[in-house]
Structure 1
Amino acid sequence: MVKDYVVFDLETTGLSPDKDTIIEIGALKVIQGKVADRFSEFINPHQKLTQQISELTGITDDMLAGARNLQVVVGDFVDFCEDYVVVGHNLGFDYRFTKMAAEKYHLPFEHEGIDTLKIAKTVHKDLPSRSLGALCEHYGIINSSAHRAYHDALATAKLYQTLAHYFETSEPKLFVPEKMGFKAKKQQPMTKKQKAYLKDLCKYHKIEFNDAMEQMTMSEASRWIDKTILQYGRMKRFNRSDRNE
């Protein structure tokens, strides 16, 4: 069993790393089997959360309003992880989001990883569900605030240690870190026309144009404009094609 590692979990605005963004990162650094450091921070997505995400996570728009931007928080999280092995439940999901965010800001994020879901699918084929909640219930692991990033990361750390206790001797290969092979697609920065339209739209609807908007990719800018028009309305003097060129 790996003794030194970082367990982490994310909460996001949706399921697609291409379309959605991170709103919370929770992690703990384990050294020689003991928690040595913690990381827990919200991220301001500069967009309203859907009712479904708020109900699932318990996170509200007000909770995120004063949070720092993605670039700053992800930068701190990359530093927190150093070169440790990363552990997660359904690790590929969280790793993809983090990797894409890191590459967007030219930050290194290359790690070997261990996925407790992958382990559970092999050693617990008898269980109807291998979700984090179901496995915590199976082993009597208490998660006081499920679907919040830090608490899910802590529960995952306990699950990893429990699985290793019972199954590492019989299934040693499951506990060997694997290189995370996800390669993020290169993101194109937003066009000059998009940026000009975005600034005009913000001014028209009295929305602050902030540093995070300045760093948007072409696809992010298009989605943000779509959502803003849907919520606040279109500027009559512009055509739809202006923002998609």
Structure 2
Amino acid sequence: MSTTSTQPDRVGGKGGPDEPTVRELVERATHTYIARIQPRYLKDESTAVSELARLRRGAGKRAHEVQDLWGIGALENLSELLEGRTDFDRRKDAEEAVFLASTLWALHQQSRRDQNTHTRGKDLGGAVRALIRLKEPERADEEESTLRKRLVRVGTAESFQSVAVRLREIVMLLRTVPEPLPLDYARLAGQLYRWQDRSARAGVQREWGREFHLAARKKASAAEKGDAIDPTLGADDDGTYAGYAAGE
């Protein structure tokens, strides 16, 4: 896992303004893969059903831990996008992000044949806020919810393994409600890639917390468009990230 960032998050040798960042390629690889297999799963195609069953075995784990998933389509997409681009040193971080997001999506999609669980613009904080309203409708203070505390545990994790396990717990909860609570797994993959760079981690923590707080001001019937949060944002003046402190 990278702890410092000594190079710009761009690939290739030119580094021009129109060149995609690695984060953008991580998101593209994840979305392209899921967008290809998700409709096939909804149609109950046997190959797609089998692939999701394989993917679910990797949910919450690291890419190298499940040999049966080496070379999954999402990682092949990423490899193609990064082909010939060597001006960065975080290929492993990119692979881990794509792998985790893809396997979590497979877990979320399990047995859901009437809805897409990957939808662009549906962020993690907003999904947790919606989950609170569905599972704890009588709660007046959503800030004190145990479900919110689960999101805080993701934000304050110190290892990628902890992030993986805690995100898996949230996805499992998203599956327990009949109402669709999709996530933008491409966006999540990009956040997971950035999280592994300690110099960018505060921005991701801030982003997850901001998503949760912004969701409180959105009307329940409004279509969420996703929130463009500045990834360079650091901690608040009190040393917290949208209200919670860093650390295990």
By the TM > 0.5 criterion, same fold?
no
Q: Highest CA radius of gyration, 1 or 2?
A: 1
TM-score normalised to structure 1 length: 0.27
- Bigger share in helix: 2
Q: Could you say which structure has the higher strand fraction?
A: 1
Q: Name which structure has the greater RCO, CA cutoff 8 Å, separation 6+.
A: 2
**TM-score, normalisation: structure 2:** 0.27
